[in-house]
Structure 1
Amino acid sequence: MAFGSILCCGKGFDRKKKEESKTAWRIFSLKELHAATNNFNYDNKLGEGGFGSVYWGQLWDGSQIAVKRLKVWSDKAELEFVVEIEVLARIRHKNLLTLRGYSAEGQERLIVYDYMPNSSLLSHLHGQHSAECLLDWKRRMNISIGSAEAIVYLHNHATPHIIHRDIKASNVLLDSDFQARVADFGFAKFVPDGATHVTTKVKGTLGYLAPEYAMLGKASESCDVYSYGILLLEIATGRRALQKLNLTSNRSITDWALPLAREENFRELADPKLKGNFVKDELKRLIIVALVCAQKKPERRPTMVEVVELLKGEAKDKLTNLENKLFKSWHSADDHKNEIREDNADSILERKYDTPKPESKVAETVSKEKDDTPKPEFKVAETTISEEKDGTPKPEYKVSDSGFEGAQER
């Protein structure tokens, strides 16, 4: 679909409001972004994901930006591009990545953000910055609470409410002060007023998917809570969401952590890179909240508003009750066996879709034929696994003062 109508409508944007806000987005020319990124020079490349590559750039006024450039144009990529702009144009929160603007000329699709100098949380937990040990305990707690407050905003204050659907360590960016900025809204869904969930094609990352979402395609705010619980465990323990045991099986971080937490062995759970430098009560609080969030039954999970209260230590009695219920449900051998059997996202998908487990860093389509369940799309090791639908109608767009309208899947 041509973007001419969008660019034309974009001129009608409330320019006075735009000038009054330092964070308002604008339309960039492709020429301007070529100049800012030195023609998308390899030396400017910050990373690469399923959508495309991200480049560092500097505008004429000296401000630093990050530019996400679409790898290959397709109807699906176009939809993801517009959904992200639609979401980012509507939201403003200190813990959400700020949209600077976009460019859409020909088949070039680029999204411009504020540059985050401390990269992603993933890079500090498992990537190129992990050996530097820059995440002390205080920073980890601040990142945990900041990320939670960002999700609270999406679930309760955005209009309409938003389900992120891809909460994970690589989508939490860190600014110059190591404050969390939740990013990447290409999979986000708007929640209609009064709806408890939306049924949709499954998208996300193995290890972070709530069971009811992975199996039935039922996306709700509680699915984000589950993913956030996995993220919290990563922050506390320094372990990945899925640990590869051998060529054919993985173990989830909850499967490993819950028995240790039940035995009050929190020192064993702490990230070794912390070298014992943590506040024990805060570590316990964070891990218990994480495990409560990552329960298999959505009705047992707290809301993100409750999560923030729990993490800040403002609801000690509630935390104790949740902890007791959490471990009580595991005293039954049958319940324990069922939880273990359901704990691994790979196992869930293998049983549901009869699909072999994907190797790390290998894209593989997961689908089920002759079924009304939406076909899933996942990311493994930051690679998007997707399936195109023939004859998918191209999305229609128009621009309002708040951003794009009609950018959701139809």
Structure 2
Amino acid sequence: MEKGSLTEVLFDGSNFKETLDWPKRVNICLGIARGLKYLHQDHTSGKVVHRNVKASNILLDGNLNPKVSDFGLAKLYDEENPYQFIKEIGTVVNMAPEYAMRKAITDKADVYSYGVLLLEIVSGKSNSKSEKNQGNDYLLNTACVLHSEQMLLNLVDANLSGEYDKKQALKMLDLAIQCINLSPTLRPTMLEIVSELEQISNVNAPFPSA
């Protein structure tokens, strides 16, 4: 995976950041979603919950095609024991709130983390870092405030310099807001997310990205 992790390309490598134009960001978001859909729905051994979806666990090849990696916390989902994941947790900043509330964990925890990642890719900002001069105003909080004010497009990475599809961006940000809903049952499934992103991007590649 020649380009390393999404963290390196999106946040750490200023020399790479210019290569992440809008179509490539859409492709990365769609590729990650397809990988998670494969784990949740198409995996031959049953439903797999990754539980640690974050930028550093997304690897990029030379063409910036993403692959979901690091399955150290991944487990087959057991509907009869939805509390099995509580003792082992992933990255706190991308963690679904049901982890902290000690409630049953399902594949919707991955959906929440994917929503955070979607916000990061569109904005070019990390949720693990607060904005300068903004106190503890993290990306997730900013997104929720801007959504309530119907100003979500203010989140789009300034490095894109207006060279992006505003309708696509708004749909993707709306989708991210759905993913980070506090109620797991109100979050979309990865199948629904993939379907929405395919409509947005008008791309239909069948191969999973995991």
Q: Distance in 2 between matches of 1:287 and 1:149?
A: 18
Q: Which amino acid aligns with 1:289?
A: L
Find out whether 1:154 has 2:28 as its counterpart.
Answer: no
- 1:244 Cα deviation from its structure 2 partner: 3.1
Instruction: Name which of 51, 67, 73 aligns with 1:187.
Output: 73
Q: Distance in 2 between matches of 1:251 and 1:244?
A: 6
Higher RCO (Cα < 8 Å, 6 or more apart): 2
2:163 matched to which residue of 1?
A: 277
Instruction: Name which of 77, 90, 110 aligns with 1:204.
Output: 90
Please give the secondary structure, in 1, of the residue aligned with 2:3.
Answer: coil
Q: Which amino acid aligns with 1:227?
A: S
- 1:233 Cα deviation from its structure 2 partner: 0.2
Q: Distance in 2 between matches of 1:130 and 1:244?
A: 22
Structure 1 186/125 Cα, relative in aligned 2: closer, same or farther at 3 Å? same
Q: Which amino acid aligns with 2:62?
A: S
Find out whether 1:261 has 2:147 as its counterpart.
Answer: yes
Structure 1 259/136 Cα, relative in aligned 2: closer, same or farther at 3 Å? same
Q: Distance in 1 between matches of 2:15 and 2:7?
A: 9
Q: Which amino acid aligns with 1:150?
A: G
Please give the secondary structure, in 1, of the residue aligned with 2:36.
Answer: helix
Contact 1:191 1:198 in 2 (8 A): no
Structure 1 150/298 Cα, relative in aligned 2: closer, same or farther at 3 Å? same
Q: Distance in 2 between matches of 1:259 and 1:125?
A: 23
Identical counterparts, % of pairs: 36
1:237 matched to which residue of 2?
A: 123
- 1:196 Cα deviation from its structure 2 partner: 7.4
Contact 2:115 2:177 in 1 (8 A): yes
2:6 matched to which residue of 1?
A: 121
Taking structure 2 as the reference length, the TM-score comes to: 0.86
Runs of at least 5 residues in structure 1 that lack an aligned partner in the other structure: 1-115, 315-410
2:203 matched to which residue of 1?
A: none
- 1:238 Cα deviation from its structure 2 partner: 1.0
Please identify, of 164-173 and 196-205, the stretch whose mean Cα deviation from structure 2 is larger. 196-205
2:56 matched to which residue of 1?
A: 170
Please give the secondary structure, in 2, of the residue aligned with 1:173.
Answer: strand
Instruction: Name which of 187, 191, 194 aligns with 1:305.
Output: 191
Structure 1 212/275 Cα, relative in aligned 2: closer, same or farther at 3 Å? same
Task: Give 1 or 2 for the bigger CA radius of gyration.
Answer: 1
Structure 1 176/223 Cα, relative in aligned 2: closer, same or farther at 3 Å? same
Q: Distance in 2 between matches of 1:305 and 1:238?
A: 25
Taking structure 1 as the reference length, the TM-score comes to: 0.45
- 1:195 Cα deviation from its structure 2 partner: 4.0
Q: Distance in 2 between matches of 1:195 and 1:165?
A: 18
Q: Distance in 1 between matches of 2:158 and 2:141?
A: 19
Find out whether 1:292 has 2:169 as its counterpart.
Answer: no
Q: Distance in 1 between matches of 2:59 and 2:131?
A: 29
- 1:134 Cα deviation from its structure 2 partner: 1.3
2:29 matched to which residue of 1?
A: 144
- Residues 123-155 of structure 1 deviation map (CA, whole Å, 9 limit, x = unaligned): 111112466411110000000011001000000
Contact 1:198 1:218 in 2 (8 A): yes
Q: Distance in 2 between matches of 1:272 and 1:278?
A: 11
- 1:309 Cα deviation from its structure 2 partner: 1.4
Please give the secondary structure, in 1, of the residue aligned with 2:93.
Answer: coil
Contact 1:155 1:221 in 2 (8 A): yes
- 1:220 Cα deviation from its structure 2 partner: 1.2
Q: Distance in 2 between matches of 1:275 and 1:195?
A: 50
Q: Which amino acid aligns with 1:268?
A: N
Contact 2:130 2:139 in 1 (8 A): no
Please give the secondary structure, in 2, of the residue aligned with 1:216.
Answer: coil
RMSD over equivalenced CA pairs, Å = 2.0
Tell me which protein shows more strand as a share of its residues.
1
- 1:302 Cα deviation from its structure 2 partner: 0.7
- 1:271 Cα deviation from its structure 2 partner: 0.5
